[in-house]
Structure 1
């Protein structure tokens, strides 16, 4: 086995492993984001497994099988765009263009017999590269609006997307190079693809030890701030520090509502505009959690509380975690942590 073959095998193994891990998560969570992640890596894993089976057992690749695998590969940029839409808002025109490019690329490959003409191949490669670049930039922007572990994971996903686009671009232009340089794009593609697989693994299926390493600085910072809470001048400052610490640790925006027994309400100091600043006895999600004293996670806040759906969407409240705050038998308030996307 050559070094390039080893790199190729390792790359394929990582992608298949990611598919297995994210599929398990999708079966447990059953959210759109988890399903979209599984679909994206499912397309990659299917192409890898099919190629490995054909190569290992010396089987002939049927025309139908070839078309299916080709269509899965062509669909990868669009599946990636669906992932971007889970973490940010993708303009409708971009979605329509991506769908149009997918359909045209699929038709071009299916109706072409034998070797695909270079102009068609280049058009598909450029479509793939352009859409991958858009997705990478979108992931970077989403990461900038996130914090803590979420930011680091989205940065890794962005890096994996860029590297995957580069690998496809190099592989697509390889047939146009002279024979003397035939080995160069192959080696470069394998190395870049491996780097992409590692980045995706870090972004979508990071080991627990890496998660803890990411969380530790935020947690240490939170504990340092907590030690200074008794010296803060007023309750407002204490609540603000706790909100900031919780948000950084969870990689989300956070708001704390303190219970006022005189008015029987939860008063949120800084709900960031997306949540009511004062909540009384009602069917608000925060009040439900405060009454039951059981933490709840809502992957789609708008669906869980339709009355606030418009406000949630306007202010970027998509997934919502609410936990009660209490001491002994005394109910003190509730903590809300929310993001504009579902968890990675």
Structure 2
């Protein structure tokens, strides 16, 4: 590995750049990093100014996003030749510091699967486009379950009455948000070409995806209350992008899956450490899904309301708290969302 401080600085910047490709609620990117030259360690800290007080009052979703960034950091570090050692919540008196990661090359054990996921970091997208009505191979579903388990979480794929129940609960949450408005969502939605292209966070208009003309896929309608058309769309056709087609840049409308493939990601307990575990498990599973040719998106609507979140659990299956609802399938990925410059999120200290 490079030994000069300048070269090490470039390596650290590259690692953080990869970490920041992680998904976060409304692409708020609620993280900062600090690298200590003396200890050769990176610390991951929450950016509380990017919290969502109404949709995420306990900061659960913030921790999940930061956990996903931590997993990307682990993958990138091992791919670069390090043996990273992670400590979650290293200072009980400092709730802002979520994790510490040592970059001493010989410190920790290697996970042989992590480097295989590296290229998927840049390829992964949150796809709000229709997926094909096509089953996910059982062998691939098993692999995804194993990826979540490797990080200490449980992934359950839904079917039958439980799938119908979860879809009903998410639909109720989406309708409620449409009726009452969602200030947290409105803060992070970027409409108009100039704003979409200029701002390095949030959900730009070109990533809204088409509006749902039919189907039950739990896709958030970021375009509600706004124009039904955008650059490249044909509002008169009533057609949007189908699976495997170029999604273009305008919303339009489209038919989504009637029987979407959904997975519940659960943990045993429901504390900040569990949320960080869930974020890492979520990202590990998403990267593997991307590597295997699947498109993915995250459905957080019901998770933003405590009275609905508990309805998502399967009382027979008996898993712990639901941390994320994941939609998977074969479909278009679309363009990537913007990311904040590394200089805004990384600080070097002696």
TM-score relative to the length of structure 2: 0.30
Looking at both structures, which has the greater relative contact order when contacts are Cα pairs under 8 Å and sequence separation is at least 6? 2
Higher strand share goes to which structure? Answer: 2
TM-score relative to the length of structure 1: 0.30
